[in-house]
C-alpha cells in the first residue's frame, strides 16, 4: 500500500557528500523504494536545486535558509531560528500526512498549533547540545568557541520540545537510551548509507587512510593528534582525504614526506581510497551519534583501527581494532599493516552490516511506523 510522507531537510540532500546529508539522501531513496510518496521540503544554503531528487520524491519544495548576526540574539538556537518559513508552514498544511523532521535543526514548527493533527517524527542526528559543547572544546577561535557554547545552551533548552513529537528516530544505541530516558520514546534507526553489501578487497593495501570532513574541528583535532603522536612514530605511507581542509593542515601535511593529502575527493574516488587502503585509521575524540565514516570503513575497507569513542555502544566494536593510547595504536598499525584481512572477518561484517544496518530493513521500519 502506498503511503505519503513530508520530509523537512536541513539542507538539499544532493549530492550526498557529508555526514547527515548522506543519511537524508539514502533514507529518501530507500523510503521511495518502500512505496512511500515523499513530499520533500529543503532549506538551502550553498547548494543548488537538484533534479536528482525528483526521481524519488512526489514533490520537492525549496526554502532559502536565513542568515546573519541578528539571528544570534534569538532565544532559539541559530540552527533552528534560521530555518523558518511561512511558505513551509503553508505547504505542510496542503496534505495532512506524517512529517519527518530531519534533525532538531528543522523543528521550528514542531509545536505550532497548526501541526496538532499531524504525526510528527523527529530524526535526531546527534544529541545536539552535547555535539555543540564538544565543538566548543575542540575550537581554537575564541569567537567560534563562544558561539558553540551559546548554541549548546540554547539547544539544551529547545530540545525539550521533543516531548511534542510522536516518535524520535535515534541514530545510535547511546542516543536511543538518552532520548528514551528523557522523553520516554525513541527507536534506533541506524544511519542510511550508500552501501548495499560488504565489498571488501582481499589482498593487501600499501597505505594507511584517515578520511572525513576536514573543515570540521572534530576531524581537525583527530588529524593533528595523528600527525603529532602516531604518524611521527611510523614510516608507512599515509593518505588523509576529505573536504575543505584548512590552509594550516595543508601546510603541515606538505612538510611530512610520508603523508599525502587528497582534497575534496569525489564520492567514487573516496570509496576507492577506502577500498585500496590497508588500514582505515579513524579515531575520534567526540562520542556523538554514529559516524558514517565508520560504516564506510567497514563496508568497503580492510582493517579498521579506531578508539572507544568511535565505537562505544554502536554494536560494531567487535568488527574493529580498538586502541586507547599511542603505544597500542602504533603497535596495532604495525601488526595489521602486514596482515591480510581474513574471510572470517569479512563474513562477520556481512552478518551484522547486511542485516541490522541494511537500508531496506530500516526503511521498512519507518514504513511500518507511519
Ranking 8-17, 95-104, 110-119, 138-147 by mean pLDDT, the lowest is 138-147
pLDDT tens digits, 105-138:
999 999 999 999 999 999 999 999 999 998 898 7
Mean pLDDT of the chain: 94
If you ran DSSP here, which 8-state letter would residue 6 be given?
E
pLDDT reading at 217 higher than 90: no
The DSSP line for 130-170 is: HHHHHHHHH--SHHHHHHHHHHHHHHHHHGGGGGG-SEEEE
In the predicted structure, residue 19 carries a pLDDT above the cut 90: no
Whether 167 shows a pLDDT value over 70: the answer reads yes
pLDDT over threshold 60, residue 211: yes
| Average pLDDT, integer, range 237-256 | 95
Q: Each residue of 230-241: pLDDT tens digit?
A: 999 999 999 999
Task: State the burial class of residue 79 (Cβ atoms within 10 Å of its Cβ: 0-12, 13-18, 19+).
Answer: buried
Query: Once rounded to an integer, what is the mean pLDDT over residues 72-82?
Result: 96
For the stretch 254-308, pLDDT in tens is 999 999 999 999 989 999 999 999 999 999 887 665 678 899 999 999 999 999 9
Provide the pLDDT for residue 140.
82
Residue 290: its pLDDT value, please?
A: 62
- Flag whether pLDDT at 360 surpasses 80: yes
Nearest CA-CA partner of 209 in 145, 128, 303: 303
φ/ψ (deg, to 5) at 78? -55, -40
Which stretch of DSSP H or E encloses residue 37?
Answer: strand 36-44
Q: State residue 322's pLDDT score.
A: 95
Q: In the numeric block, which cell numbers belong to residue 261?
A: 593529502
Phi, psi dihedrals of residue 167, rounded to the nearest 5°: -150, 150
Model-wide pTM > 0.85: yes
Domains of the chain in sequence order = 3-194+358-369 (3.40.50.2000), 208-353 (3.40.50.2000)
Query: 170: which strand partners?
Result: 124, 188
Antiparallel, parallel or unpaired: β 279-281 and 259-263: unpaired
Closest CA to 119 of 185, 29, 27: 185
Q: Which three cell numbers stand for residue 208?
A: 594507511
- Torsion, Cα 267 60 85 31, to 10 degrees, reads -70
Amino acid at each position: 500500500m502506498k503511503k505519503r510522507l513530508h520530509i523537512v531537510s536541513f539542507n538539499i540532500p544532493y549530492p550526498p557528500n557529508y555526514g547527515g546529508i548522506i543519511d537524508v539522501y539514502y533514507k529518501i531513496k530507500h523510503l521511495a523504494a518502500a512505496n512511500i510518496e515523499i513530499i520533500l521540503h529543503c532549506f538551502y544554503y550553498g547548494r543548488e536545486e537538484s533534479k536528482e531528487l525528483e526521481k524519488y520524491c512526489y514533490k520537492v519544495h525549496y526554502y532559502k535558509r536565513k542568515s546573519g548576526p541578528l539571528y544570534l540574539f534569538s532565544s532559539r538556537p541559530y540552527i533552528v531560528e534560521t530555518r523558518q518559513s511561512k511558505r513551509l508552514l503553508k505547504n505542510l498544511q496542503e496534505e495532512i500526512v506524517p512529517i519527518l523532521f530531519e534533525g532538531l535543526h528543522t523543528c521550528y514548527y514542531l509545536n505550532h498549533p497548526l501541526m496538532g493533527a499531524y504525526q510528527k517524527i523527529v530524526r535526531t542526528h546527534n544529541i545536539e547540545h552535547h555535539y555543540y559543547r564538544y565543538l566548543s572544546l575542540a575550537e581554537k577561535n575564541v569567537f567560534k568557541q563562544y558561539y558553540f557554547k551559546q548554541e549548546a545552551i540554547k539547544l539544551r533548552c529547545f530540545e525539550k520540545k521533543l516531548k511534542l513529537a510522536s516518535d524520535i528516530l535515534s541514530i545510535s544505541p547511546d542516543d536511543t537510551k538518552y532520548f528514551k530516558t528523557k522523553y520516554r520514546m525513541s527507536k534506533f534507526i541506524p544511519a542510511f548509507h550508500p552501501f548495499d553489501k560488504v565489498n571488501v578487497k582481499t589482498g593487501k593495501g600499501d597505505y594507511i587512510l584517515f578520511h572525513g570532513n576536514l573543515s570540521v574541528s572534530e576531524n581537525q583535532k583527530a588529524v593533528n593528534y595523528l600527525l603529532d603522536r602516531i604518524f611521527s612514530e611510523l614510516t608507512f605511507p599515509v593518505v588523509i582525504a576529505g573536504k575543505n581542509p584548512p590552509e594550516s593542515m595543508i601546510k603541515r601535511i606538505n612538510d611530512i614526506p610520508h603523508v599525502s593529502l587528497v582534497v575534496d575527493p569525489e564520492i567514487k574516488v573516496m570509496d576507492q581510497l577506502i577500498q585500496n587502503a590497508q588500514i582505515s585509521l579513524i579515531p575520534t575524540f567526540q562520542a556523538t551519534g554514529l559516524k558514517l565514516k565508520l560504516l564506510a570503513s567497514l563496508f568497503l575497507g580492510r582493517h579498521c583501527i579506531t578508539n572507544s569513542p568511535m565505537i562505544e555502544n554502536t554494536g560494531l566494536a567487535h568488527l574493529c581494532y580498538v586502541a586507547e593510547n599511542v603505544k597500542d595504536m602504533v603497535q596495532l598499525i604495525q601488526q595489521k599493516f602486514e596482515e591480510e584481512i581474513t574471510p572470517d572477518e569479512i563474513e562477520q561484517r556481512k552478518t551484522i552490516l547486511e542485516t541490522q544496518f541494511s537500508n531496506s530493513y530500516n526503511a521498512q521500519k519507518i514504513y511500518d511506523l507511519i
